[in-house]
């Protein structure tokens, strides 16, 4: 999918220099976002809610509600979108891998719906330019924050579902993730699950993960995590989220005990 063409400068596309009447840092027009999604919204306020960061909750006009939507920030739509994407991907995997067992399908599903995958989908439509952020969130790099982009992507898909049902979400998700699903010839390995199974198979307690360090700015954090397994020296891993750091620590420990993993 090609990156969307942003709205012209006088519409405030990608601008963080000024704020609107409601205190939001100016962002690209959601009409352009709807075009990038390939869906004509009957209720554009749903899409506007889906790109509104919770940091604006105290700045919005009191009492504003969507016609159909659940509120003014994306958190509730994100909750819905997470479930909708999960359903769409699950059905797609059943069709694509008719002979695969549940465990392998579950691993593929987890890889496709994780925040990193949705963040890449957000990148393809230039979602960061459409986010409605408080001045503080915008100045701290909110438009590039991978967590915010992944969450907002789920919210956008939740809004699309409320507005048009499952069909437009299915069409968009299958197009956006086509490259991801085609890569996964063998089921993706999850190092944390593999380490857990390795430990249990030897009668050991479950691995324990400990946050050692959290540093860096909000838009580029660094987490350092140690994994503890009975009878072994702790091993650390680092990454831009706790989950990534935990996976890296698990991968390193698995390699030390002679188990090869992909992540």
pLDDT tens-digit map of 195-249: 998 999 899 999 999 999 999 988 889 999 999 999 999 999 999 999 999 999 9
| pTM of the entire predicted model | 0.61
Domains and CATH numbers, the chain: 25-60+67-182 (1.10.1520.10), 191-257 (3.30.160.20)
Q: Is the pLDDT of residue 187 over 80?
A: no
pLDDT bucket at 23, cuts 50 / 70 / 90:
very low
Please indicate if the annotation marks 78 as binding a ligand: yes
Q: Is the pLDDT of residue 260 over 80?
A: no
The whole-angstrom separation of Cα 172 and Cα 180 is 14
Among the listed residues 16, 43, 60, 82, the single catalytic one is 82
Among the listed residues 154, 163, 190, 246, the single catalytic one is 154
Whole-number Cα distances in Å, 33 to 50, 129, 201, 214: 11, 9, 49, 34
Which among 246, 70, 219, 45 is positioned nearest to 148, based on CA atoms? 219
Residue 82 falls in the annotated catalytic set: yes
Supply the pLDDT for residue 27: 63
What residue ranges in the chain does DSSP mark as E strands?
208-215, 222-228, 235-239
Q: Is the pLDDT of residue 165 over 50?
A: yes
Residue 262 falls in the annotated catalytic set: no
In the numeric block, the tokens 């700015």 are attached to 217
Q: How many CB atoms lie within 10 A of CB 206?
A: 11
Supply the pLDDT for residue 72: 62
């Amino acid at each position: 999918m090609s990156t969307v063409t942003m709205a012209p400068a006088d519409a405030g596309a990608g601008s963080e220099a000024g704020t609107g009447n409601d205190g939001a840092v100016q962002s690209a027009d959601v009409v352009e976002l709807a075009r990038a999604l390939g869906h004509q919204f009957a209720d554009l306020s749903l899409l506007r809610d889906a790109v509104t960061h919770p940091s604006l909750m105290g700045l919005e006009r009191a009492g504003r509600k969507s016609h159909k939507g659940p509120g003014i920030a994306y958190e509730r739509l994100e909750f819905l979108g997470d479930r909708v994407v999960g359903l769409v991907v699950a059905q797609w995997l059943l069709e694509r891998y008719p002979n695969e067992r549940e465990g392998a399908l579950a691993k593929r599903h987890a890889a496709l719906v994780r925040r990193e995958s949705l963040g890449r989908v957000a990148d393809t439509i230039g979602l960061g330019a459409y986010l409605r952020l408080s001045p503080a969130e915008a100045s701290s790099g909110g438009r590039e924050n991978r967590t915010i982009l992944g969450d907002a992507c789920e919210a956008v898909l939740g809004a699309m579902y409320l507005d048009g049902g499952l069909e437009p979400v299915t069409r968009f998700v299958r197009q956006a993730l086509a490259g991801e699903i085609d890569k996964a010839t063998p089921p993706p390995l999850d190092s944390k699950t593999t380490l857990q199974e390795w430990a249990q198979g030897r009668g050991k307690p479950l691995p324990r993960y400990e946050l050692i360090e959290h540093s860096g700015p909000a838009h580029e954090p660094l987490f350092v995590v140690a994994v503890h397994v009975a009878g072994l020296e702790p091993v650390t891993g680092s990454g831009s989220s706790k989950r990534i750091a935990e996976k890296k620590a698990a991968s390193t420990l698995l390699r030390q005990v002679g188990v090869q993993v992909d992540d």
